[in-house]
Amino acid sequence: MNVTIQCFGVFRSFGDRIALSVEKGTTVCELRGLLRDKLTQLDSSFDNSGLIKNSHFATETEILADSAPLEEAMNIVIIPPVSGG
Amino acid sequence: MNVTIQCFGVFRSFGDRIALSVEKGTTVCELRGLLRDKLTQLDSSFDNSGLIKNSHFATETEILADSAPLEEAMNIVIIPPVSGG
Amino acid sequence: MGAIFVDICDVATQPLDVMAGLAFVTRSPNGAENLFVGTVRGVNQGKEVLGVSYDVFESLAKRSFTDICAEARAKWGRELSLYVTHGKGRLPVGGVGIVIAVGAPHRDEAFKACRYVIEQVKHRSPICKLEHYADGDSEWTKGCELCTHEHEVAGHGRHS
Amino acid sequence: MGAIFVDICDVATQPLDVMAGLAFVTRSPNGAENLFVGTVRGVNQGKEVLGVSYDVFESLAKRSFTDICAEARAKWGRELSLYVTHGKGRLPVGGVGIVIAVGAPHRDEAFKACRYVIEQVKHRSPICKLEHYADGDSEWTKGCELCTHEHEVAGHGRHS
């Protein structure tokens, strides 16, 4: 199934959105690894798994727990460490 | 010698200023008792020595210590408990 | 009863309005208002800064502000009024990036609630900052990992 | 280097200006401004209040503000800027009686210094408050005995 990851903050260097094809039942936790691979594929100089580890995934309304399963056609935003205020 | 006490806050009910004749060498501490007597004389219903005890005497530039001696023609302000801010 | 107002403003067309915040929270029975205003510093870690751009994930940011304000009222009193607005887009040095205003009957609650809100916003609201330097470079500030719950924030160290 | 501004304003002709305070303290290298605004409450100790009149012994009050601001800079940094204005005369409910603004590089110092200033002003500045009640009565508030030194203030309880 397909999910779309909206880029935010430092991830904007990869564009506005990244489309990923994932297996049914994939969790947010597993998405981290898949996204890291995808980013490395998009930019071979990307080497920042710490950044992905410290990022969170969210929908328009909530931060997703690592155990949350992804759903078909889900729109997800990746939120790196924050620095508001 | 004569000193003038400028009234402030709650003491304004006694007017803007109170003139007192005091002996040379009178201290701020002794002034409290003299002022209490004077206020009782001005208003026989005045019975608030606690208020005078909790008040401070000052010049335009500093709070006077209890031990400070009064000087001829001194202008002093009496400052009751404060409630600014 | 107090009230809560939160918003994200595109600073290109809608600069943050400190007086609007003060006016919103100054209501009976309040007598103490505390405001926090965050402005863009001209220097960060030794580098000359020309400005910053805030990237805000709006829906979730507003939701976090509302949650945080509700927590503050639960902690310090239902009569508190709170106002939080954050800018998005580019600000020059001295530009206002956040306005927090808290009105309370007494000052202790006003100070504590205002401090609580800024600490929580810095740790929980999905906002990123891109700094623009005098040397032409731009860099996303490192920030701190998003806290997904208020209890995680307390132990954190100080950030700007 | 920061700066200090203090003043007493006759509110009949010169209302306190919150934005002037913010503008004064927002200067490089500051990025965090904390403001305290004291407004007249509509109720005090169960009595409906129509307004208050502040009686200010100006020369000494301004001197106390300057001393307090200097102490805050000694404690939290020479780069702090501080602004303190207090009203004299009669204010209606909701009227602004005091504006304190503190600008600092970081928020911790801004909050702490602003809180310090209001605590000290309440204990050390020669200002008295006459409350005007809806029933036609007026009364000088009890207040707290003037502290003649900063060290005396720390142990005091909370006042409005």
Residue range C48-70: mean pLDDT, rounded: 97
Question: D54 pairs with which residues across the strands?
Answer: D89, D129
Pairing of strands B75-79, B2-6: parallel
pLDDT at C155: 47
Question: Does residue B77 contact residue B31 with C-beta atoms inside 8 Å?
Answer: no
Separation CA C122–CA C159 (nearest Å)? 8
**Interchain pair C41, D35: CB under 8 A:** no
pLDDT at A46: 82
> Who wins on pLDDT, C133 or C154?
C133
User: Is the pLDDT score of C160 beyond 90?
Assistant: no
User: Is the pLDDT score of C149 beyond 90?
Assistant: no
What residues of D are in contact with residue B9 (Cβ under 8 Å)?
Answer: 55, 128, 130, 140, 143
Of B12-16, C11-15, C145-149, minimum mean pLDDT range: C145-149
pLDDT digits (tens, 9 = 90+) for B16-37: 999 999 999 999 999 999 999 9
pLDDT digits (tens, 9 = 90+) for C81-122: 999 999 999 999 999 999 999 999 999 999 999 999 999 999
Query: D24 in the Ramachandran plot: left (φ > 0), alpha (ψ -120 to 50) or beta?
Result: alpha
**Interchain pair D31, C22: CB under 8 A:** no
The predicted model scores a pTM of: 0.93
Q: How many helices (H) and strands (E) does chain C have?
A: 3, 8
Average pLDDT value over all residues in chain D: 93
Average pLDDT value over all residues in chain B: 93
Separation CA C66–CA C5 (nearest Å)? 8
What residues of C are in contact with residue D102 (Cβ under 8 Å)?
Answer: none
Structure tokens at B47: 């019975």
pLDDT at C151: 57
Question: Does residue C72 contact residue C100 with C-beta atoms inside 8 Å?
Answer: no
What residues of D are in contact with residue B51 (Cβ under 8 Å)?
Answer: none
pLDDT at B48: 78
Assign D155 a pLDDT band (cuts: 50, 70, 90): very low
Portion of chain A with pLDDT greater than 90, in percent: 88
Portion of chain C with pLDDT greater than 70, in percent: 92
Separation CA A44–CA C100 (nearest Å)? 42
Residue count (chain D): 160
Q: Which runs of consecutive H residues, i.e. helices, occur in chain D?
A: 18-25, 58-76, 107-124
Asked whether the CA dihedral C123, C54, D31, C100 is positive or negative, the reply is negative
Average pLDDT value over all residues in chain C: 93
pLDDT at B47: 73
Question: B52 pairs with which residues across the strands?
Answer: none
**Interchain pair C60, A56: CB under 8 A:** no
Portion of chain D with pLDDT greater than 70, in percent: 92
pLDDT digits (tens, 9 = 90+) for D15-41: 999 999 999 999 988 999 999 999 999
User: Is the pLDDT score of D160 beyond 70?
Assistant: no
Question: Does residue A12 contact residue C128 with C-beta atoms inside 8 Å?
Answer: no
Of the candidates C131, C114, C105, C104, the residue with the CA atom closest to the CA atom of residue D107: C114
pLDDT at D15: 97
User: Is the pLDDT score of C43 beyond 70?
Assistant: yes
Residue range A14-37: mean pLDDT, rounded: 94
H or E element that contains C75: helix C58-76
Question: C79 pairs with which residues across the strands?
Answer: none
pLDDT at D1: 79
**Interchain pair C111, D110: CB under 8 A:** no
Q: Report the gap between the CA of A23 and the closest CA in chain C (Å).
A: 26
B80 inside 8 A of chain D by CB: yes
Please compute Rg for chain D using Cα positions. 16
Cβ atoms < 10 Å from Cβ of D74: 10
Chains C, D: CB contacts within 8 A come to 107
pLDDT digits (tens, 9 = 90+) for D105-118: 999 999 999 999 99
pLDDT at C150: 61
Residue type, D119: E
